[in-house]
Amino acid sequence: MPTRRELANAIRALSMDAVQKANSGHPGAPMGMADIAEVLWNDYMQHNPANPSWPDRDRFVMSNGHGSMLVYSLLHLSGYDLPMDEIKQFRQLHSKTPGHPEYGYTAGVETTTGPLGQGISNAVGMALAEKMMAAHFNQPGHDIVDHNTYAFLGDGCMMEGISHETCALAGTLGLGKLVAFWDDNGISIDGEVEGWFTDDTPARFEAYGWHVVRGVDGHDANAVKAAIEEARQNSDKPSLICCKTVIGFGSPNKCGKEECHGAALGDDEVALTRKELGWEHGPFEIPGDIYEGWSAKDKGAKAETEWKERFAAYKAAHPELAAEFERRIAGHLPADWSEKANAYIKQTIEKAEKVASRKASQNAIAGMAPAVPELLGGSADLAGSNLTMYGGSKGVTRDDAAGNYVFYGVREFGMAAIMNGIALHGGFIPYGGTFLIFSDYARNGIRMSALMKQRVMYVLTHDSIGLGEDGPTHQPIEQTPSLRLIPNLNVWRPCDAVETAVAWKAGIERTDGPSAFILSRQGLPHMERDGEQLANIARGGYVLKDCDGTPDLIFIATGSEIELAVQAADVLSGEGKKVRVVSMPCVELFDQQDPAYREAVLPKAVRARVAIEAGATTTWHKFTGLDGAVFGLDRFGESAPGGALLDYFGFKPENVAQVARDVMNG
């Protein structure tokens, strides 16, 4: 049987060989953390290479994702569907071994990491989801949800501010099944971190309420094992294991230096490292006994079989709960979901009330949440303004995780990353709220939702200068168009309560990416529609108000500016002009429609077009063309009541009508 060090050296060899072949990558972290990974994966990780999606598996997150060859080595060696040919294609086009681990590319990769700090934050979300699922489903004598979340992170993750946001919340919520390993090697890209990173990191995490194991020799398997045992015994706190390591361990000339952080070692140094490690095998060559020492196939199959037996007993004792668990883990909505959601939309139409879309959003949550028990709300300390809570909301606490609402505190970025982890874990559909202006803080987390195609919903309120007195620091100008630049993010800006309800239904039903709801503070009037118009809301854009024959002009608008477009259309109609008003609550969905539908809504023959939105004009030129105009705002706002600001910046029917006249007159 190979020694622990020999098993760990297989990681080092694969990592330096793959990086060398690609002439690109980060060999230092995998070589430095190999001993830690060997102990964790061989002695503690509960996983089954034959079924990477087994519900009660442990989750492993490589937050320092630049060290991706560590993950790929672990997956390959332990028996996942990641053959050596893929290891040899590290960082190449369409390989299963991209430069940073990507969710959906590689069996066994739990989340996309690379933007530092987000991986540990995803891990917080996974651990939170585990705790909540256990509270929702476990019954006396039946612990069907009982797994750990393990995360590796480096100095870069510690320096990123998001690690403070999320790890502080993890301590508050007592996520005792989260164990993080800090690779304390003292090196980042610019060199020795003591020049810019001198935090007392263990004390910082102790202050968060974590259990901290200090000063562990990351190259001593027995010390690592003892630290993990200690961490696992502290079930009421998350644990941080502080591992002192040497980056690039085994490299005679580059270990402990920034030279091995983000570059191949070089052929000569690779050869010297092989000799230093006693690894007498060629590139990408792994002896059979090493594979046998690493294989998790039998152990993993046994662990999953035992869980299935426990679940069968649970199902016999609690059949309804078991069926609900299976449905939620599969990501399926309840059988009667569509019927109930449509009934709520019908009620909204019948009410025909003037209401702020943030309030309409709250009403939609209250109307739809009872039909979707996996809906998990939250807000970054703005629940009373975002209106993300409703009568059925119950907060999740350290001592009671059976709720359906997370108080994230003033942690916009952390909220986004935690929600990604929750969605990746499975069992919940998370939504979280903040002001639209603060989506800038959360932006990279939102981007990662889109990149990983996760069903996460962002409630972004106070959507324009109409929010008023808080002034330009809080008045979004460029945020909505900038969110529309993120691929695979559906950005909804509804014009009334009906469009808001349809947006919520679409967001809940979407399984291939996130949705953002851009919502108003001010009241928006109900718009009358027929059945066809109602159905077409879900297509992202539709004709809300039409004229006889070919239009002389088309208004395109969203949100609160739909009322303005309708009023301006009435002015022009009184002058004998034929005007169409197109509501476009979701540009992304409209762009996905077939050419015939898009032509029916925006006929190419009608070149006189005016788009109206109280924000930056960038999005709309592709719809208006060179012959049209965009009525928006390409400067920062002012501090004054909302109505006064809208008047000051010219958002009046007559002003819009005049722009339209100018467009029609060429």
CB atoms within 10 A of CB 580: 23
Q: Are residues 652 and 605 in the same domain?
A: yes
CATH number of the domain that residue 428 is part of: 3.40.50.970
Does any domain span residue 133? no
Per-residue confidence (pLDDT) for residue 111, from 0 to 100: 98
Cut 0.85: pTM above it: yes
Q: Are residues 424 and 469 in the same domain?
A: yes
Q: Is 425 annotated as a binding residue?
A: no
CB atoms within 10 A of CB 94: 7
Q: Is 474 annotated as a binding residue?
A: yes
Tell which of 472, 490, 519 closes a domain.
Answer: 519
Does any domain span residue 524? no
Does any domain span residue 376? yes
What's the domain range around 281? 4-119+146-301
Q: Are residues 340 and 232 in the same domain?
A: no
Per-residue confidence (pLDDT) for residue 406, from 0 to 100: 98
Q: Are residues 512 and 593 in the same domain?
A: no
CATH number of the domain that residue 629 is part of: 3.40.50.920
Query: At a CB cut-off of 8 Å and minimum separation 6, what does 40 contact?
Result: 60, 150, 181, 224, 228
Q: 147 and 58 in contact (C-beta within 8 Å)?
A: yes
**How far apart (Å, rounded) are the C-alpha atoms in residues 351 and 563?**
18
Q: Is 137 annotated as a binding residue?
A: no
Closest CA to 58 of 282, 262, 303, 263: 303
Catalytic residue among 374, 412, 499, 613: 412
Q: Is 447 annotated as a binding residue?
A: no
Q: Is 385 annotated as a binding residue?
A: yes
Per-residue confidence (pLDDT) for residue 166, from 0 to 100: 98
Tell which of 486, 519, 552 closes a domain.
Answer: 519
List, edge to edge, every strand of the sheet that includes 375-379: 405-407, 375-379, 429-435, 457-461, 515-519, 490-492
Q: Is 580 annotated as a binding residue?
A: no
Which stretches does DSSP call E strand in 570-616?
A: 579-583, 609-612
**How far apart (Å, rounded) are the C-alpha atoms in residues 614 and 465?**
7
Q: Are residues 373 and 258 in the same domain?
A: no
Q: Are residues 591 and 449 in the same domain?
A: no
Does any domain span residue 360? yes
Tell which of 519, 553, 581 closes a domain.
Answer: 519
Q: Is 554 annotated as a binding residue?
A: no
Q: Are residues 95 and 209 in the same domain?
A: yes
Q: Are residues 65 and 115 in the same domain?
A: yes
Q: Are residues 28 and 171 in the same domain?
A: yes
Per-residue confidence (pLDDT) for residue 666, from 0 to 100: 84
Residue 488: exposed, middle, or buried by beta-carbon count in 10 A (0-12, 13-18, 19+)?
Answer: middle
Query: At a CB cut-off of 8 Å and minimum separation 6, what does 96 contact?
Result: 82, 86, 89, 105, 106, 107
Q: Are residues 489 and 599 in the same domain?
A: no
- Helix, coil or strand: residue 599: helix
Q: Are residues 18 and 96 in the same domain?
A: yes
Q: Are residues 11 and 49 in the same domain?
A: yes
Does any domain span residue 168? yes
Does any domain span residue 652? yes
pLDDT per 10-residue tile (average), the chain, 666 residues: 97 98 97 98 98 98 98 98 98 98 97 98 99 98 98 98 98 98 96 96 98 98 98 96 98 96 97 98 98 98 98 98 98 98 98 98 98 98 97 98 98 98 98 98 98 98 94 97 98 98 98 98 97 98 97 98 98 98 98 98 97 96 95 97 94 97 94
The answer to whether 194 is a known catalytic residue is no
Q: Is 42 annotated as a binding residue?
A: no
Alpha-helical (H) ranges within 82-220 are 84-88, 118-137, 155-159, 162-172, 201-208
Give me the number of domains the chain comprises.
3
Does any domain span residue 212? yes
Q: Is 470 annotated as a binding residue?
A: yes
Does any domain span residue 307? no
Q: Is 23 annotated as a binding residue?
A: no
